[in-house]
Amino acid sequence: MNKRDFLKLAAAAPLAASPVRLYAAASSTSARLLLVFLRGGYDASNVLVPVGSSFYYESRPNIAVPRPGSAAKAALPLDGDWGLHPALGASLLPLYQQGQLAFVPFAGTRDLSRSHFQTQDTIELGQAHDGRRNYQSGFLNRLAATLAGQSRAISFTDRVPVAFRGELQVPNMALKQVRKPAVDPVQTAVIAEMYRDTPYARAIDEGISVRDGVMQNMAAEMEAASRNAITARGFELEARRIARLMRDRYNVGFVDVGGWDTHVGQGGAEGFLANRLEQLGSGIAAYAAEMGAQWNDTVVIVLSEFGRTFRENGSRGTDHGHGTVYWIAGGSVRGGRTAGEQIQLRQSTLHQNRDYPVLTEYRALCGGLFARVYGFGAPQLERVFPGTSPVDLGLV
Amino acid sequence: MRTLATVLVLVLAGCQLPVVSPRVDSPRAETPEARLHLLNRVTWGANGSSARRIEAVGTRAFLDEQLRPAPKPPLPPAVQAQIDALTISQKPFTDLVREVEQQRRDAVAIKDPEERKAAQKAYQQELTRLGREAATRSILRALYSPAQLQEKMTWFWMNHFNVFQFKSYVRATVGDYEENAIRPHALGRFRALLGATARHPAMLRYLDNVQNAANRVNENYARELMELHTLGVSGGYTQRDVQELARILTGVGVNLIGEPRKIAAARERLYVRDGVFEFIPGRHDFGDKVFLGRTIKGAGLRETEQALDMLARHPATARHVSRKLAVYFVADDPLSALVERMAATFRSSDGDIAAVLRTMFGSPEFAASAGRKFKDPVHYVMSAVRLAYDERAILNAQPVIGWLNRMGQGLYTRQTPDGFSLTRDDWVSPGQMTTRFEIARAIGSGSAGLFRTAGPEPLEAPAFPQLSNALYFQAIQKTLGPATLKALDQARSPQEWNTYLLSSPEFMNR
């Protein structure tokens, strides 16, 4: 049985029949989950590069990432089929080699709208695809609610994303820029009192508590900055801040990163997308480092609403596609591999002769992952992803 | 409590339509509080001068003049002078784009890497300066224009036909886009508005149609044109329609530098250039298309006009646009009965935006919803500054730009074409609220940089926000609940009183 067949079998096996490790159930309180949403539909085929496919190189005459060893900047070999974008060589390759990062190619949704917004909503809501949507119930909120008293959820964004909408009041605080509050404690108390009997009371209390917590947490960084120490920038800085909060105060987190909608001039081994990837990769690596010992209890999911067209378009970019590649990282992740069902890439295996097909539905994927991480049984999984049969890819 | 009350009121309004039919021009609307509510919906926020105006002419006449404003409504002279001093006001758009593009080309051509880098940086800085000018002009108009509804609708359509200024050279184009493509049509015909956006370099660049050519099709604009601008995502089009519309749009682009094109003689008469806009027959796919079930004969730019006609007059567009207007002005989840009435007006008036708004403003649903829409950051900041300084002209819009950015709703900063959310759930988050209190404190405690001129030798005029003003005592105070009045009593200084008023739950709504 070759690797492909085994994975296919694993993918097809219903969860009940596969051995869920007890580690998961025991660690449900210490487990930490961070969802990184790449908004815009990142070009998965130029990140996890199908280096074994000549069809890929025919389809992308100007923007393909060269085969390993064929150019100064070329894909980094992962196995015979796949390579990694060289911009991720310093950040993600070590994680992959240490077995702490897995890729799930041909993952995604059943949503065929090719609309950023509809598909992002589809993912964040995590509801049955053909049912009527309830826009007030995101899957991360349902996850946090299912963890009941054990969850401390937060969104590191300036607005609460759809994924966190729902019965649980989830706080948010963007960490790109953090400032010291000017509203003093007396004023804070008076303002909070104005809201006591309003529907916003919980939001206000949460906001104040998060603000104060973040300020405590930032004290060390601010001190370093005031001593003119070299500090991280951009997403790496943000990721380090997120890591410190996830380490000390929260266990379900969300952050989004934009700028992936590369219709024009996206570049290949170098260029626009390469620069975005370098920043993203260094952020993920910094997150792993900053988590310290807690990295072993951490799972990071990196996803995007859809992949892009397999062929480059007329402007050396790519258009909205379908299937994509999910990344799963963490100290206990069984990584160093690609997981889930795969196919040979040929014109006939493309979805609608233009995109990656979706062979691993994301709710089944995440459901299977949550079952392992949190020891969920069928009732809990049904609550998070109603109507879905989880697929266990043995990712932790 | 509040949410429940909203639901009850809306349900009552829906059930008892024939009995309870409050109209905006009924005597009930003529109390100071009712006028306050109306102003907070129709304008960027009630202030002393707008309150005096509506009291003087009555709500009906006030709405009439807001729906049909004069072509160039007069601004306070100090505001007009600031606008007149901007590069984007002084230089014709075509010249401005040409100069900026020339600057870019010159920079790229520099051989020395260090010099080239410096020149490219200067180019980027110029783009950013032009984008900031556009934001400044927009903010000045929002704060001081007597045609307040037109200003709100300008923001609404800028959001509907969103562009992201930090993509490529879009910063150099947003000012003209807002001033000449959007504002003149903000209360006019939807078809004209749609057509103006479809020819503007801001849109054509932002959604990549400048790259869309025969056999090198780029679908980006075609898709958003249907999904977001007209039909809506469930408006009944298919992926095939997206591809066909993209083919129709091939060759629709821009000519930044004004260089002549070589056009094949046979197609010369199909070439179009209008300012920066350009239609290039050589890039167009002249094959026939089947779009929304109709055959469109290959004919050049005329195909785009045909497609826009079809889209603007499609019943799905009437519904999609009407619903979005109702979400913006009435309720996060407007009753479908209201949306259907607005859509009927949209269809019968051939997309007359002012007529659709008139149907909405006259509806019982609108009257019943007073004070129940949560302010998004733009409403929050504009209403606070308008209330604090009324007609006194600020000297620097940068603090406003900064506050909007900080709350995640900066002008022209929405990266994705869907525009900013118009509903409460997306803005009422814990982080947002604590940030609002910080901004309430900044605006309430002093001049907050609004009266310090920019530049190397800044001048600062003394200023203090006047929030406990006549409007407060005539109307605002009566709308405050006991908890807010108690907080205001606890203020230890005028600064703190202002901070509490601007932080109050009542001030979060409109």
Q: Write down the ipTM of this complex.
A: 0.90
Check CB contact of B223 with chain A, cutoff 8 Å.
yes
The 10s digit of each residue's pLDDT in B173-184 is 999 999 999 999
Burial class of residue B469 in the structure, from the number of CB atoms within 10 Å of its CB (0-12 exposed, 13-18 middle, 19+ buried):
middle
Buried b (16+ CB within 10 A) or exposed e, A117-141: bbbbbbbbbbbeeeeeeeeebbbbb
What token pair was written down for A356? Answer: 């990656």
Gap between the Cα atoms of B275 and B93, Å rounded? 8
Check CB contact of A167 with chain B, cutoff 8 Å.
no
Continuous H helices in chain A: 3-12, 22-26, 54-59, 92-97, 116-125, 139-146, 185-194, 201-226, 234-248, 272-291, 362-374, 378-384
Gap between the Cα atoms of B220 and B164, Å rounded? 14
pLDDT for the residue B272: 96
The mean pLDDT of B93-117, rounded to a whole number, is 95
Handedness of CA A214, A219, A225, A226 (dihedral sign): positive
Please, which pLDDT band fits residue A176 given cuts at 50, 70 and 90? confident
Check CB contact of B113 with chain A, cutoff 8 Å.
no
B429, B499, B503 member nearest A172 (Cβ): B429
> What residue in A sits closest to B237 (Cα-Cα)?
A113
Handedness of CA A232, A237, A239, A240 (dihedral sign): positive
pTM of the entire predicted model: 0.82
Provide the 10 A C-beta neighbour count for residue A354.
18
Q: Hey, what amino acid is at B232?
A: G
Gap between the Cα atoms of A2 and A8, Å rounded? 10
Check CB contact of B370 with chain A, cutoff 8 Å.
no
Q: Which helix (H) or strand (E) holds B404?
A: helix B398-406
Query: Which residue has better confidence, B465 or A168?
Result: B465
Q: Hey, what amino acid is at B256?
A: L
B220, B421, B426 member nearest A263 (Cβ): B220
Q: Tell me if A160 and B408 make a contact (CB, 8 A cut-off).
A: no
Check CB contact of B336 with chain A, cutoff 8 Å.
no
Q: Which helix (H) or strand (E) holds B290?
A: strand B289-291
The 10s digit of each residue's pLDDT in A197-215 is 999 998 899 899 888 888 8
pLDDT for the residue A29: 61
Q: What percent of chain B has pLDDT over 90?
A: 86
Gap between the Cα atoms of B435 and B439, Å rounded? 6
Continuous H helices in A68-177: 92-97, 116-125, 139-146
The 10s digit of each residue's pLDDT in A132-150 is 678 789 999 999 999 988 8
pLDDT for the residue A225: 67
Contacts of B323 by beta carbon, 8 Å cutoff, 6+ apart: B334, B339, B342, B343
Asked if pLDDT for residue A5 goes beyond 70, the answer is no
The mean pLDDT of A314-343, rounded to a whole number, is 96
Asked if pLDDT for residue A25 goes beyond 90, the answer is no
pLDDT for the residue B390: 97
Please, which pLDDT band fits residue B29 given cuts at 50, 70 and 90? low
pLDDT for the residue B490: 97
Q: Tell me if A197 and B483 make a contact (CB, 8 A cut-off).
A: yes
Gap between the Cα atoms of B173 and B96, Å rounded? 9
Q: Tell me if A158 and B416 make a contact (CB, 8 A cut-off).
A: no
Query: Which residue has better confidence, B510 or A249?
Result: B510
Q: Chain B 385-424, CB below 8 Å of chain A: which residues?
A: 406-408, 415-418, 421
Check CB contact of A242 with chain B, cutoff 8 Å.
no
The mean pLDDT of A338-346, rounded to a whole number, is 97
What token pair was written down for B458? Answer: 């800044």
The mean pLDDT of A288-310, rounded to a whole number, is 97
Please, which pLDDT band fits residue B230 given cuts at 50, 70 and 90? very high
The mean pLDDT of B406-420, rounded to a whole number, is 91
Check CB contact of A189 with chain B, cutoff 8 Å.
no
Please, which pLDDT band fits residue A231 given cuts at 50, 70 and 90? low
Q: Tell me if B500 and A208 make a contact (CB, 8 A cut-off).
A: no
Q: Which of the residue ranges A52-61, A84-93, A156-165, A266-275 would you say has the lowest mean pLDDT?
A: A156-165
Q: Which of the residue ranges A6-15, B245-254, B424-433 would you say has the lowest mean pLDDT?
A: A6-15
Q: Where are the domains of chain B?
A: 93-206, 213-312, 374-508
The 10s digit of each residue's pLDDT in B346-368 is 999 999 999 999 999 999 999 99
Choose, out of B229, B433, B509, the residue to mutate when testing the contact with A (most A CBs < 10 Å).
B433
A158, A182, A196 member nearest B483 (Cβ): A196
Check CB contact of A322 with chain B, cutoff 8 Å.
no
Q: What percent of chain A has pLDDT over 90?
A: 72
The mean pLDDT of B168-174, rounded to a whole number, is 96
pLDDT for the residue B58: 95
Q: Tell me if B220 and A200 make a contact (CB, 8 A cut-off).
A: no
Q: Tell me if B208 and A315 make a contact (CB, 8 A cut-off).
A: yes
Query: Which residue has better confidence, B25 or B496?
Result: B496
Provide the 10 A C-beta neighbour count for residue B86.
18
Asked if pLDDT for residue B332 goes beyond 50, the answer is yes
Q: With contacts defined as CB-CB under 8 Å, which chain A residues touch B374?
A: none
Gap between the Cα atoms of B451 and B457, Å rounded? 13
Please, which pLDDT band fits residue B194 given cuts at 50, 70 and 90? very high
A125 to chain B nearest CA, in Å? 14
What token pair was written down for A248? Answer: 């000390």
Q: Tell me if A194 and B3 make a contact (CB, 8 A cut-off).
A: no
Please, which pLDDT band fits residue A158 given cuts at 50, 70 and 90? confident
> What residue in B sits closest to A155 (Cα-Cα)?
B431
Q: Tell me if B211 and A315 make a contact (CB, 8 A cut-off).
A: yes
The 10s digit of each residue's pLDDT in B124-152 is 999 999 999 999 999 999 999 999 999 99
Check CB contact of A116 with chain B, cutoff 8 Å.
yes
Asked if pLDDT for residue B20 goes beyond 90, the answer is no
Q: What are phi and psi of A308, to 5 degrees?
A: -115, 170
Asked if pLDDT for residue A318 goes beyond 60, the answer is yes
Contact B459, A206 (CB under 8 A): no
Q: Chain B 240-279, CB below 8 Å of chain A: which residues?
A: 242
pLDDT for the residue A1: 36
> What residue in B sits closest to A117 (Cα-Cα)?
B418
Contacts of B420 by beta carbon, 8 Å cutoff, 6+ apart: B159, B162, B376, B409, B414, B426
B284 to chain A nearest CA, in Å? 13
Size of interface A-B (CB pairs under 8 A): 162
pLDDT for the residue B15: 37
Q: Chain A 26-55, CB below 8 Å of chain B: which residues?
A: 39-40
Please give the domain boundaries of chain A with CATH numbers for all domains: 3-179+235-384 (3.40.720)
Query: Which residue has better confidence, A1 or A256?
Result: A256
